[in-house]
Structures are given as structure tokens and as C-alpha cells.
Chains A and B, each alone.
Chain A
Amino acid sequence: MTDSPPWLKLAQGHMNQTAFFAHLKGEVVGFGPGRATMRLPYGPHLVGNPDTGVVHGGVITALLDHTAGAAVMAALKEPMAIATLDLRIDYMKPATPGLAIIAEVTCLKVTHEVAFARGSAYHVSADDPVAICTGAFMLMRGTPPPPPPAKD
């Protein structure tokens, strides 16, 4: 990637340090252009079924929402705030307890008002997804994106 604009680096920092994403202990592992990859290590705080140790569906939703938003930001030519309009998730199989979840989302199209993204969450291979997602995002042109949190 050449000549990544400075605001794109800031956006990546923001996506990595978003309070809720940090609360889940996720990390950005790939960002731009027009795509984003995040990794969420398995942890006891993510469990939705205490009998099996499988993570809560909301964990997958949160990871995919965050990654899709990042993919859209990474596709923009200028900085602006975005907001999720809708998100559809198909759960293809239960996540495996103990394994990190990778989310990989591509921004397919940016129009003046709306951007569209599609991606999946998986453990090892994108060919064997835990879940797939499609989302639409409103673009707030003229509204700056949130600044990255101040460093401690």
C-alpha cells in the first residue's frame, strides 16, 4: 500500500482503540484499501453457552459490525463519520471454543450516501466460515470521524 493518507492511519487507530472493541479484547490485523481484517482471541468473557463454551452470537455480530465499519472507512477518499444502517448475519456453524475468530470484510461499493460491505468470520479459512455478513452504512459527509482516544 502506497501513500496511505494520514487520516486513514488515524482511522485504523480509532478502530483498534474503540472502547467496546477493546472491551472484547479484539485487535485490528489488516486495514485498507477497501477492506479490513480483525482478530478476536477466545476468552471466557465471550461465552454465550456455559455448557459448551461456544461464544455468544452477539460477539460475532459485534466483531463483524466493527470490521465492516472499518472496511467502509478504508474505502473512503476523505475522512467522515459513518453509521451502520443495517446488518444481516447468517450463522453457518457454531464457533469452536478456544479458537480465535477472524473477521474479514470488503467494502463492495461507495455511493454518495451509502456504502455496502460483505464479509465473513472464520477460525482458520474463509472457505469454512462461522458466519457471513452483509451490511449497509450511511456516510455522513462533512461530519468528521471520531478522533482516536488520547494515549495514556
Chain B
Amino acid sequence: MDLIAQARAAGETPDLDALIQAIPYCRHLGVIARLDGHGVLLELPFAPDLVGNPMLPALHGGVIGSLLETAALAQVIYEVHASSLPKSVDISIDYLRSGRARTSFARARIAKQGRRVVNVHAEMWQEDETKPIAALRGHMLVDFSEN
């Protein structure tokens, strides 16, 4: 994305919330990004459109997967000096608790950075970061060609 290339060219870290807001699907979900002391923190306010089970009500598994994958993507963009958006190769999601009708958060950490592939772990929680509602492990291909 141009935002990444421009920031890299200027020797700066890309504005992560601007980057997230430039991704239409993230806007469609309502994802907000910011940096804190640990890296990229994503926030997803609850909305009725995100429900998968109306009885509880609970967030749709696809919403959970989408936020986790976006957290992984954002952390890789932030931490790894790639020239374009990383591409997901595979992901594995564990659903630990149901996602309730409240604000969710997610963050990721890079477990291993190789020359082409990054192994990334992400977690999502609601009220208590020590009680994740879901976790993701995945691999992303990163393009360093223009650096």
C-alpha cells in the first residue's frame, strides 16, 4: 500500500490507524488501531451486525478470526520493515470463550521472523487480557524487495 511505502521512504513508522482505516473491510467491521507500550493494539467496538449467535448474543466466529488476522497483519507491518502488505499463508484459530456483546481487543507478537516468512501469534480478549476469547497462530509471507 502507498501508505506503507510513503512512510518507509520517509524513514517513519506507518500511521497504523490510517492504514487500518484505508482497508475497507476493517472499516466495515469498525476496527480501530493504536500503539501502546507493547505494540499495535486493535479495538473492535460491539455492533449488532457482528453477531453470529443471537441467543447469547455472541460475536460471529468470522469476526473473531478477522480481528485476530488483522492484529497479526498490523503487528507485522509495524515491526517488520516490509515494502507491501504481508500475505497470509495459513492460520489456525482456537476459540476459547464466546465473544460477548462488548468491546473486544487484540494484539499479536512475532514468534519468529525468517527471511520470507513470519510466524505470528495473536490473542483477542474483552474485559481481561489474561482471559483470551480466542488465539491465532499463522504464517505470513513478507516482501522485502524494495527495501
Contact = CB atoms under 8 A, between A and B. Distances in A.
Interface of A: 18-24, 44-51, 55-59, 61-63, 65-66, 69, 81, 83-91, 94, 146-147, 149
B14 interface: no
Given A21-B60, A147-B54, 16 more contacts: A18-B51, A23-B50, A44-B24, A48-B23, A50-B23, A56-B70, A57-B66, A57-B91, A58-B65, A61-B93, A62-B63, A84-B95, A89-B91, A90-B90, A91-B89, A146-B55
A87 B65 contact: yes
A70 to B, nearest CB: 12
B53 A59 contact: no
A61 B66 contact: yes
A19 B54 contact: yes
B61 A59 contact: no
B120 to A, nearest CB: 12
| Residue of A44, A63, A65, A69 contacting most chain B CB atoms (<10 Å) | A65
Contacts of B62: 20-21, 24, 58, 61-63, 65-66
Given A50-B1, A89-B91, A91-B87, A58 B25 contact: yes
A120 to B, nearest CB: 14
B25 A45 contact: yes
